[in-house]
A = this chain, B = another copy of it.
């Protein structure tokens, strides 16, 4: 039985294992977030970020983190799925499916016409899963970013 609920006050630390699981598959050792960061973010008075925690028998098994986004094309707020993670010990038990279903329910309830997210094409398990839930996909997007000294230099 998979139980899914929005993250509650005081549960920030429960999200960290999922953040580490995702970082381990991309850039191990890169997590800087703390439980306090999550507490502050999720209990903000006007939050832009939300998280759903999935539990099996009371134990946290996975999470989805989403944030509010905006489409200039649609002229409406839409939902960006920042993270979808299931802890290794709980895989192949329908946790990701249950989380995506809960995310979709939330989007519809909030009136968001679209959920979007990024995936890596080499993550074939994830790609098959996303195809299975009816997601559309556009390959070959270039993810660009500016941070650190490059950001500071441009801002000067």
Taking the nearest CB of chain B, how far is it from the CB of A32, in angstroms?
A: 5
Number of interface residues of A (CB under 8 A): 69
Nearest B residue (CB) for A142: B119
Task: Evaluate whether A146 and B136 lie within 8 angstroms (CB atoms) in the complex, with A33-B73, A70-B49, A72-B83 already known.
Answer: yes
Q: A103-132 toward B: CB 8 Å interface, digit per residue (1/0)? A: 011011000011111111100000100100
Q: Which residues of chain B have C-beta atoms less than 8 A from A67's C-beta?
A: 68-70
Q: Which residues of chain B have C-beta atoms less than 8 A from A105's C-beta?
A: 155
Q: Taking the complex as formed, is A1 at the interface, i.e. its CB lies under 8 A from any CB of chain B?
A: no
Task: Evaluate whether A32 and B75 lie within 8 angstroms (CB atoms) in the complex, with A118-B143, A142-B118 already known.
Answer: yes
A48, A140, A146: which has the most chain B beta carbons within 10 Å? A146
Q: Taking the complex as formed, is A150 at the interface, i.e. its CB lies under 8 A from any CB of chain B?
A: yes
Q: Taking the complex as formed, is A74 at the interface, i.e. its CB lies under 8 A from any CB of chain B?
A: yes
Q: Taking the complex as formed, is A56 at the interface, i.e. its CB lies under 8 A from any CB of chain B?
A: no
Q: Taking the complex as formed, is A133 at the interface, i.e. its CB lies under 8 A from any CB of chain B?
A: yes
Q: Chain A: residues with CB nearer than 8 A to chain B?
A: 15, 19, 22-23, 30-34, 37-38, 41, 46, 48-49, 65, 67-77, 80, 82-83, 100-101, 104-105, 107-108, 113-121, 127, 130, 133-148, 150-155
User: Can you list 7 A-B contacts with CB-CB less than 8 angstroms, sorted by A residue number?
Assistant: A15-B72, A30-B73, A119-B142, A127-B142, A134-B151, A135-B146, A137-B142
